[in-house]
Amino acid sequence: MAEPLWTSEEIAAAVGGRLAGAPFKVNGVSIDTRSIEQGDLFVALAGVRDGHEFVGQALAAGASGSLASQAVEGSSVVVGDTLMALEMLGEAARTRAPQVQRGAVTGSVGKTSVTQAVRAGLMLAGRGHSSVKSYNNHIGVPLTLARMPRDTERAVFEIGMNHAGEIAPLSRFVRPHAVAITTVGPVHVENFPDGEAGVARAKAEIFAGIEPGGVAVLNADNKWFDMLAAEARKAGATVRTFGAGEACDARLIDFQPEAGRAIVRARLNGKVLDFPILQTGFHWGPNSMAVLLMLEALDVDLDVGLAALGGFEPLAGRGAERDIALAAGAFTLIDESYNANPISMAAAFASLGARKPSGRRIVALTDMLELGPDGPAFHAGLAEPLARAEVDLVFCAGPLMKSLWDALPSTRRGGYADTAAELGPLVAQAAEPGDLVMVKGSNGSKAGAVAAALSLLDVRSGEAG
């Protein structure tokens, strides 16, 4: 039989808790009864609802025991504070597996995609482990560590933030041997009095926990590169660079998007490479360079890294493409509905402009959030990259996108609505065979509702009205 992830005895020793009930073994760790798997440890965290209320539900769903701070049904390890105990369990997982080469990824744009692409390489190379979804905060990072099997060879963790001071403690949990900062831009700026400079300093906190002699993979094209490189070197890291410049360790030479894929030309450590990826967004040019440098730093062979990139499919809401069949033909939906900011918007439009559809280029946009008082100006500023990309029709939803709507020439205006739910039918009515339709916006402004409305048009689904 496979070795368990944790025994109740090990959990109690790691977190300074005591066993209540019969000893138990677990094969996973969960904080959500909706995703409990057979043999999990359920951690009863305090939140909007107290996790202790759901212990019975977790046991019924297959949990072997719980981590709790009060008396509960079933077997449990009892502690004073369950979040602190989860952190201690994560640290114990890291300490008991000293052989693991650990990577960490942050950045204003692309950190989830880069993390998951690195994960694909680690899994091909051996016993890999990683964050799932966007588990990148004060709960997600220790949870990911606590789930790490003791025989893991390599692991990668996503680390995110909304405010200053959040990344440093997470970096110290992970103690990475290699870190990547994809880029720094005006994201979450409403939480930083000094704007983007504060965001850059917050991203530099990822060096706080880096192991001595570690590697920092940095974007040489970003305006904050010099500051980040100086902070990395101050932490004792070796800086490895990616970008368009001649001096970059991983230099992006060319990126040619096609239907459902792109061909990347790059020079890595002086060697020219041409390789296909299943992505069409221009941001995947630099993303690919960051992935290859991270895999190199984690001792993954180049051919394994290229194979991983070549098979890595777009994540849901992050550039996934599908043809939507109409009665008279099909249009292509590019779903970028998971997130948006000024950097990713401009990159998405440029990618769209490089495509040659038989029909029109159409975008449906919802508000970009957390941009502070400059939010309206950032939205109005999207008119220029839309014009450069020769987008035919622009649909907008939300109070901030009204600033873009007002900045658009009448020839480019497709339709405006107050909400994403109201915008969906307008875009659905306009889409025609041969069109290339991109949906993009912040998750909080419900861009996914527009993508969902377009998906319902597919006559093959049997759901078209």
Write the pLDDT tens digit of every residue in 40-78. Answer: 999 999 888 899 999 999 999 999 999 999 999 999 999
Q: Average pLDDT of 191-211? A: 90
Query: What is residue 463's predicted lDDT score, i.e. its pLDDT?
Result: 43
- Look at the alpha carbons of 47, 48, 54, 57 in this order and tell me if their dihedral is positive or negative: negative
Query: Is pLDDT at 372 greater than 90 in this prediction?
Result: no
Chain Cα centroid distance, residue 67:
28
Task: Report the alpha-carbon angle 32-34-36, nearest 5.
Answer: 70
CATH fold of 320-461: Protein-Tyrosine Phosphatase; Chain A (3.90.190)
Residue 186 burial class via C-beta count within 10 angstroms: exposed 0-12, middle 13-18, buried 19 and up: buried
CA gap 180, 345 in Å, rounded: 22
The token duo for 33 is 């009864």
Rounded CA separation 248/251 (Å): 5
C-alpha closest to that of 83 among 104, 72, 69: 69
Whether the pLDDT of residue 118 is over 50: the answer is yes
CA 148 to chain centre: 19
Cβ burial, residue 95 (10 Å; 0-12/13-18/19+):
exposed
CB 31 within 8 A of CB 139: yes
pLDDT at 389 over 80: yes
Element spanning 242, H or E: strand 238-243
Cα-to-chain-centroid distance, residue 341: 14
CATH pick for 97-311 out of 3.30.230.10, 1.10.10.10, 3.40.1190.10, 3.90.79.10 = 3.40.1190.10
Strand partners of residue 212 = none
> Rounded CA gap, 182 and 101, in Å?
20
16 Rama class: left (phi>0) / alpha (psi -120 to 50) / beta: left
Question: What's the pLDDT tens digit per position in 209-233?
Answer: 999 999 999 999 999 999 999 999 9
Which residues partner with 165 through β-bridges?
Answer: none
Helices (H), 99-246: 111-125, 140-146, 167-174, 196-204, 225-234
Q: How many Å apart are CA 396 and CA 420, to the nearest integer?
A: 8
pLDDT computed for residue 194 by the predictor: 80
Cα first-last separation, the chain: 52
Quick one: pLDDT at residue 341? Answer: 86
Q: Got the DSSP string for 89-134?
A: HHHHHHHH-TT-EEEEEE-SSSHHHHHHHHHHHHHHHSSEEE--TT
Q: Is 299 left (phi over 0), alpha (psi -120 to 50) or beta?
A: left
Residue type, 254: D
d(CA 430, CA 142): 46
Q: Is the pLDDT of residue 411 over 60?
A: yes
Work out the pLDDT band at 1, boundaries 50, 70, 90: low
CA distances from residue 396 to 200, 379, 380, 402, 418 in whole angstroms, order as listed:
30, 10, 12, 7, 8
Question: β-pairing, 329-336 with 320-326?
Answer: antiparallel
Query: Nearest Cα to 132, choosing from 55, 29, 209?
Result: 29
What is the pLDDT confidence band of residue 169, given thresholds at 50, 70 and 90?
Answer: very high
Percentage above 70 pLDDT, the chain: 98
What pLDDT is stored for residue 347 in this prediction? 86
Strand blocks (E) in 327-366: 329-336, 361-366
Average pLDDT, stretch 360-365? 97
Place of tokens 């590019």: 334
Cβ(166)–Cβ(137) under 8 Å?
Answer: yes
Residue 190 has pLDDT above 80, yes or no: no
Mean pLDDT of 360-376: 93
Q: Where in the chain is the domain with CATH 3.40.1390.10?
A: 6-80
Q: Does the structure show a pLDDT above 50 at 464?
A: no
Q: Within a 13 Å sphere around the CA of 3, how many CA atoms are in the beta-carbon half?
A: 8
Point out the least confidently predicted range of 10-24, 113-127, 339-353: 339-353
- Superfamily per CATH, domain 6-80: MurE/MurF, N-terminal domain (3.40.1390.10)
Q: How far is 368 from 375, CA to CA, in rounded Å?
A: 8
**Domain limits, CATH 3.40.1190.10, in the chain:** 97-311
Give start-end residues of each CATH 3.90.190.20 domain in the chain: 320-461
Query: What are the Cα distances from residue 1, in Å, to 77, 89, 129?
Result: 24, 23, 21
The pLDDT-based confidence of 251 (bands split at 50, 70, 90) is very high
Question: DSSP character for 352?
Answer: H
Amino acid type, 84: M
329: which strand partners? Answer: 326
Checking if the pLDDT of 461 tops 70, the result is no
User: If you average pLDDT over every residue of the chain, what do you get?
Assistant: 93
pLDDT digits (tens, 9 = 90+) for 131-151: 887 789 999 999 999 999 999
What percent of the chain shows pLDDT beyond 90? 81
For 314-356, the pLDDT digits (tens) are 887 888 889 999 988 999 999 999 888 898 899 899 989 988 8
The reported pLDDT for the residue numbered 462 is 46
